[in-house]
Every structure is written in structure tokens, then in C-alpha cells.
């Protein structure tokens, strides 16, 4: 069976006046972000606009355009996504079925995620050193299924154990643009949240 390709479309929009062309490119970006369940990387967004378009300026203009809307554009890792503004959280919880979207993480699962985020790439042995006990494959599996962690590079030692790293979904779930946005470990310790 022959492979089907996505239909070609006019990326350049040369027949449109510049202002309408820009607005159409913004709408295309918004449509892609709206349809995606994960942050969309720059390369993917660049496929829907013309070569002369500045993706950063388009995203900035889209953010301004969305200021009066209940949702906004946000950056997470290497991509962008649309999210509901925090002020509408109570409204959504009152009327929408969002139970499946809730992370419902235990304190222990959050601690394991934090360890992976701060120490990545980290193996199960590395996590065992931090927590003083084995981290179950089930827990690792649950965090992987939720898309919060992923396999990292194998450790360069005998047996080449797998390591784990956080994902763009992790960044989005915790409202981080990058791992640089994680709280400083010393500040966590001073606040009584760190480990000795």
C-alpha cells in the first residue's frame, strides 16, 4: 500500500497583503498548538509558515492576541503549548470532567521526579543511593506512562544500566520553561524541603 502524504498547502501566502499573511501565520500556529497534546517544537511550527517569517515574533504577537482569552501560549522545554489561565482553574474544576488530567502524584513520586530532575541522567542505582532503597520498576513505569520521565543515555559502566531524564511533559506539568527554572536546592533546604 502506498504511503499517503499530507496535502501541500501554500506556506508563503505571497498573494496576501503582508498584514493578512502575518495574521494567517499566527492562526496556523494557534491551530497547531490547540490540536497538540504536547508542546510543539520550533521545527514543527516552522513547517506551517513561510520562510521569511520570524517564528519568535509570530509567537509574541499570538501571545498578545490571546491576552483577552481564557488561555495563553506557554513555552516548555523546546516547544510551545496552549494552556488555560490559572484564574479559570476553579471554573473548569466546577464544570468540566478533568479527572483524567490530574497527576495525582504521591509525595514519594514527586520526590523521585525531583531527584530525576536535579540529578539527570540518573539510574535506578543512583536513585537508590538518594532514597536508601530500591525504586520499583512499577513506579518508574507509572512515571514513564504519564510521560514525565523517559529513558536517558546508558551509564558508561559494566552492564550499561539505563538512566532516566525528565521530559517536556514534566516541564509543562510543573509550569517550567526549562530545568533552569527548578528551585535552587539550597533554597529548598533552607525552606525545610530538602534532604540532609
Domains defined for the chain, CATH in brackets: 18-94 (1.10.10.10), 103-190 (1.10.10.10)
Q: Is the pLDDT of residue 194 over 70?
A: no
| 6 against 15, higher pLDDT | 15
| 112 against 92, higher pLDDT | 112
DSSP result, 108-132 = HHHHHHHHHHHH-SEEHHHHHHHHS
| 183 against 4, higher pLDDT | 183
What pTM was computed for the model? 0.62
Q: What is the mean pLDDT of the chain?
A: 88
Cα(102)–Cα(173) distance, integer angstroms: 10
Q: What is the number of H-type helices and E-type strands within the chain?
A: 9, 6
Cα(78)–Cα(87) distance, integer angstroms: 26
| 97 grid coordinates | 470532567
Question: Mean per-residue pLDDT for 38-65?
Answer: 94
Amino acid at each position: 500500500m502506498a504511503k499517503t502524504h499530507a496535502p501541500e498547502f501554500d506556506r508563503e501566502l505571497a498573494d496576501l497583503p503582508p498584514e493578512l499573511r502575518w495574521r494567517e501565520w499566527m492562526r496556523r500556529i494557534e491551530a497547531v498548538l490547540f490540536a497538540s497534546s504536547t508542546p510543539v517544537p520550533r521545527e514543527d511550527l516552522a513547517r506551517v509558515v513561510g520562510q521569511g517569517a520570524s517564528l519568535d515574533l509570530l509567537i509574541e504577537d499570538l501571545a498578545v492576541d490571546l491576552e483577552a482569552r481564557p488561555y495563553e501560549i506557554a513555552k516548555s522545554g523546546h516547544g510551545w503549548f496552549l494552556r488555560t489561565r490559572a484564574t479559570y482553574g476553579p471554573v473548569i474544576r466546577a464544570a468540566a470532567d478533568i479527572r483524567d488530567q490530574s497527576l495525582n502524584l504521591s509525595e514519594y513520586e514527586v520526590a523521585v521526579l525531583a531527584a530525576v530532575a536535579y540529578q539527570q541522567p540518573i539510574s535506578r542505582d543512583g536513585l537508590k543511593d538518594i532514597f536508601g532503597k530500591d525504586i520499583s520498576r512499577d513506579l518508574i513505569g507509572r512515571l514513564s506512562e504519564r510521560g514525565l520521565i523517559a529513558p536517558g543515555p546508558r551509564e558508561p559502566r559494566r552492564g550499561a544500566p539505563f538512566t532516566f531524564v525528565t521530559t517536556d511533559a514534566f516541564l509543562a506539568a510543573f509550569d517550567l520553561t526549562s530545568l533552569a527554572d527548578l528551585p535552587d536546592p539550597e533554597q529548598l533546604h533552607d525552606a525545610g524541603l530538602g534532604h540532609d
